[in-house]
Amino acid sequence: MNFSSKILEEAVNQVSQLPGIGKRTALRLVLHLMRQPANQTDVLSQALTNMRHDLKFCKNCHNVSDVDICEICASHNRDKTIVCVVEDIRDVMAIENTSQYRGLYHVLGGKISPMDGIGPQDLNIKSLIQRIQNDGVQELIFALSPTIEGDTTNFYIFKQLNGLEVNTSTIARGIAVGDELEFADEVTLGRSILHRVPYENSLKN
């Protein structure tokens, strides 16, 4: 693109570094900001800078938090004997939105993925094992995405639990509520038959 201004070009280049945003979209966003009061851009810049420098992670579960121990870990209403292992904080938000889970979390910060150069030492696995050893955790729920990387990570953690007294479970895989059977992929459909649940149980929710 042929910019008539270096300042504009720099702004567009920086915005287009964000994932999923190309040069054209970046230009559209930047021109939108130009049409808004200068104040909006200042608040946006400040919010991003604050976020990047002041955001902390909970020392216990690695969820984002403004304090050392996050609200969930600090709450007296949560069951501290159950820990749900998730990939990142978006998964915590998704599960919290269901209002179905009253235990704690552990945010790994990713999945084991040799292709992307991410090994076990890059994830918060050590601190998870320490929590299980020291905090009286009785059940560990694996809630990673059902991909090869997710399954590998689950299995790696499972192996590390050797000798520790803790039950493990994974979230149920099956046909999504409201989905048509005929459009489900065969692996999911197959598992949903293998892991069928007593009909009375399905009435509870």
Query: What residues line the site for a copy of itself (CB under 8 A)?
Result: 1-8, 10-11, 13-15, 17-21, 25, 27-34, 38, 40-56, 58, 63-66, 70-72, 88-90, 92-93, 96-97
The smaller minimum CB distance to a copy of itself, of residues 66 and 179, is found at 66
Q: How far is the CB of 185 from a copy of itself (least distance, A)?
A: 24
The smaller minimum CB distance to a copy of itself, of residues 4 and 121, is found at 4
Q: Position of tokens 């949903």?
A: 192
Secondary structure of the chain: what % helix, strand, coil (to 5)? 50, 15, 40
Find, among 21, 161, 153, the residue nearest to 88 by Cα: 153
Look at phi and psi of residue 190 and say left if phi exceeds 0, alpha if psi is from -120 to 50, else beta: alpha
Q: How far is the CB of 57 from a copy of itself (least distance, A)?
A: 9
CB distance 111 to 118 below 8 Å: yes
Q: How far is the CB of 164 from a copy of itself (least distance, A)?
A: 28
The smaller minimum CB distance to a copy of itself, of residues 4 and 100, is found at 4
Look at phi and psi of residue 203 and say left if phi exceeds 0, alpha if psi is from -120 to 50, else beta: alpha
The smaller minimum CB distance to a copy of itself, of residues 1 and 148, is found at 1
Q: How far is the CB of 77 from a copy of itself (least distance, A)?
A: 15
